[in-house]
Structure 1
Amino acid sequence: MKLVLGGLAILSILSGFYFFFSAMAAWGEAQAAMRRVSYRAPSLLPAVLDLDSYTDRSKEWFATFFQRVFLMFVSLVVGVTSVFGSEYLRDGGNGPSSHFFLVVPAILGSMGFIWFAASAAWLFVGLGSAALRWLRNEPTSDAQRRRIIKSVWWTVCSLIIVILPGVAVHFIRQV
């Protein structure tokens, strides 16, 4: 068990670094894909909040950036909990019936719930904007369809991340 937790810790920390660097690359691509807007009148809002300066491609890159940041966070949490679990077992912990193994699924479940709420909100925003385009008799863009499909995918995956730790806690308590 100690060897498995050690390997999981190394793998998840390395994947956390990968997701960090890929998130930074996505951030750079999103900044490069922004439309350059010249402002003639002074604006109260900075250019970052101006939605006209973002192209569909830059919005996709920003969505990729936030997904990679979430995956980096999950990888690092799994790595840190694996390290602590390995140290706990090394110091004489009694295995899966301990309280430590009940805390890890609770942490992952709460993170999954936060991501589920965020991705569901993003899905409703995408569906709302598609409905507004439909009411104005405008066609839905391919980028908007891809965002809605990705939002559905992330919402379902985060819901699975919420459900699986609950099942794990149930089975751990049975042991």
Structure 2
Amino acid sequence: MLNLTNHFLIATPDLEDSLFSGSLVYICEHTSDGAMGLIVNKPSPIGMEIVFAGAGCKHIPKKYMSEFVMMGGPVQPERGFVLHTPVGNWQSTLTVNEHNGVTTSRDIIDSLTKDETVQHALLTIGYSSWTGGQLEREIAENSWLTVAADNQILFHTPIAERHQAALNKLGITQTNLMNGIGHA
């Protein structure tokens, strides 16, 4: 079975869904029952300062001051998800690999204010999911390209550059993906 856990899904021009068009999705879990991932390159209008204020935190770390929460996907958009490294020990965490976890419990928000606890974090509202076999069909239909994930892209690459950075891992530019053909 294909296991795309800890991989990127890179939307191709064939994917016309408005939410997923141009998306880079980090796959957090992929089993025969389906897949779960987070869109990591589509900012929401919610700034991180709102998240910290809502959690009652008085101190907002400088590294999050100008950051935005990502639109993780259409499922449970009222719920927050924190993709982070290291995995740590939280009340509700899905371990993706030995370095990354996705936490939905509030205890991690307080820890984000303590620079030594969580090295890097990306927050999303909502997540993306596929039923068993659905993602494999979409890949076969050329909706997605896949490549092993890279924490440099997740946590250090500017949002607007993440999609192309993932394509670069495949040696592809956006122009190579243009759908349609030219006529002389």
The normalised TM-score by structure 1 is 0.26
Higher-Rg structure is 1
Structure showing the higher strand proportion among its residues = 2
